[in-house]
Amino acid sequence: MPSSRSQAALIGIALLGLALTACQDTASGHVVGRNGARVVETVTNPPIDGCHRFPEGVTNVDNQTQSNLVLYTTQDCTVPPGGQSNYLDIGNSDQAVKATGPWHSFSFASE
């Protein structure tokens, strides 16, 4: 029986290692996009890599993650000519202004 205990311990250590590695690839918490008072989307523990699109433009974004965000008016996380992006710190909220229009996507800022 000692070998089955050793195998169980090794499997447990391997699973713990996988779980810890997976946590590093996600932003712990929520990103909430609203259009006025209506919630458009809540993203829970999103991957930190890549571009994340809102299903429609949002006028308010709450960053309830442990990572900083960059908000974009485009759907592909790019800044259009003459446009801008917006940096959103951990635990903060942002409201789109009429001059920029609604936010359509976000990515996580490199830290």
Q: What are phi and psi of 7, to 5 degrees?
A: -65, -40
What is the second-level CATH architecture of the domain 28-108?
Answer: Sandwich (2.60)
Predicted local confidence at residue 68, as pLDDT: 95
CB atoms inside a 10 Å sphere around CB 78: 13
Q: How confident is the model at residue 98 (pLDDT cuts 50, 70, 90)?
A: confident
Predicted local confidence at residue 109, as pLDDT: 92
Backbone conformation region of residue 61, classed left if phi is above 0, alpha if psi is from -120 to 50, else beta:
beta
Q: What is the per-residue pLDDT across 32-80, written as a single tens digit (0 to 9) for each?
A: 999 999 999 999 999 999 999 999 999 999 999 999 999 999 999 999 9
What is this structure's pTM? 0.75
Per-domain residue ranges for the chain?
28-108
Residues in the chain: 111
Nearest in space to 90 (alpha carbons), one of 40, 48, 35: 48
Based on its alpha-carbon atoms, the radius of gyration of the chain, rounded to whole angstroms, reads: 19
Q: How confident is the model at residue 8 (pLDDT cuts 50, 70, 90)?
A: low
Q: How confident is the model at residue 21 (pLDDT cuts 50, 70, 90)?
A: very low
